[in-house]
Amino acid sequence: MKILFIYLFASLGGVESVLKNRQEGFSRLGIKTDFLFLEDHGGVSSFETLKDSKIYITNNKIEIEKIIAEGNYDLSSVIDTPQVHDTMREIAKSRKVVMEVHTPFPPFREYIKKDIVEDACAVVVPSATFGKTVEMEMKKPHPPIIVIPNPVNNDFFKDIMDVPKHHRIPIAMVGRIEDIKGWRESVRILELVLKKRKDIDFFMVGRTIEDTPADIYKEFSKRRMMGHLRWLPFIKYSEMPFFYKFIARNNGVYLTSSKGESFGMTLIESMSCRLPVVACSLPVFREVLEEGTLGKIYRTVDEAAEYILSLIENTDERESITEKAYRNTIRKYSSTAFAETWKKQILAD
């Protein structure tokens, strides 16, 4: 069995990481996966390590049709790439096609209001919460919407022995430095935590998008917190399991104040490394954290600070919530679980 995934561009972002995680799961089931990108933004090289997968770069309609025909794919899945919908509509007349909607940004999702692949066998979304949004926005009639969460790489579940000690307790945030990710709110939370204990460092992982490095330094400087900032603009995805485990082993906490997500990938990655999570009350976060049973959900910055301090200081609570979250992540979000779900709900005839 063969699947072709189609996406707008290959960069070093979240979608590309998810695609590689999918390949890992499908390969365990003997399913071959190839990838077609309309453009390369520096990410194709990261796919070269994948065994038995072909990588195509083209935005030419005739070439895409030829790739699908000669590849004899059992299914082609197009992810937030309406540029190829005309081609996919033709393909869907004789072969199985799936539409996937993942982008949490409304302007990039405008296409689903008027341009869909009507004969696709399904529209796949990463969460039930986001699926409701897509249902409301999508042109009708439309193919059935199916929820299949994104998978985490199995490397996140592996134990790492040599994790260094840090002289302070680390609080981590992972994501682009822009307003929708709520990084300034996370800084305010850190400020409240520091009023109770000074042995805290804040590890921010992510590139600046709307804001600049000067904006970051300004936020920390005016609060006299520069000595607690550890900013890492980029970490290779293959090194992220080590990073999360470094935070976890040093009694740290993962914090997210993001206001725009279709899933909660960093939450899943954290939980797979037994790193406790404190997240804002975004509906999709409540879904992933099962209304607070797998992590803490805050509604005010004061509440967030209290949760962080509690997870740092209460060993029994910390161990209970991280163990429960870890087992749930293996069951629901491993690459193998993803591939089996996809095979059952999409590939089965």
Tell me, what's the pLDDT at 12? 64
Query: What does residue 283 show for φ and ψ, rounded to 5 degrees?
Result: -50, -40
Tell me, what's the pLDDT at 231? 96
CATH hierarchy code of domain 155-332: 3.40.50.2000
The correct CATH number of 2-151+334-347 out of 1.10.1760.20, 3.50.30.30, 3.40.50.2000, 1.10.10.10 is: 3.40.50.2000
Tell me, what's the pLDDT at 48? 72
Give yes or no for a contact between 149 and 126, defined as CB atoms under 8 angstroms apart: yes
Tell me, what's the pLDDT at 237? 86
Q: What is the pLDDT of residues 94-127, one digit of tens each?
A: 999 999 999 999 999 999 999 999 999 999 999 9
Tell me, what's the pLDDT at 349? 65
Q: What residue spans in the chain does CATH classification 3.40.50.2000 cover?
A: 2-151+334-347, 155-332
Task: Give me the residues of the chain with pLDDT under 50, please.
Answer: none
Tell me, what's the pLDDT at 44? 76
Cβ-in-10-Å burial (0-12, 13-18, 19+) of 204 comes to buried
The residue assigned the tokens 């799936």 is: 98
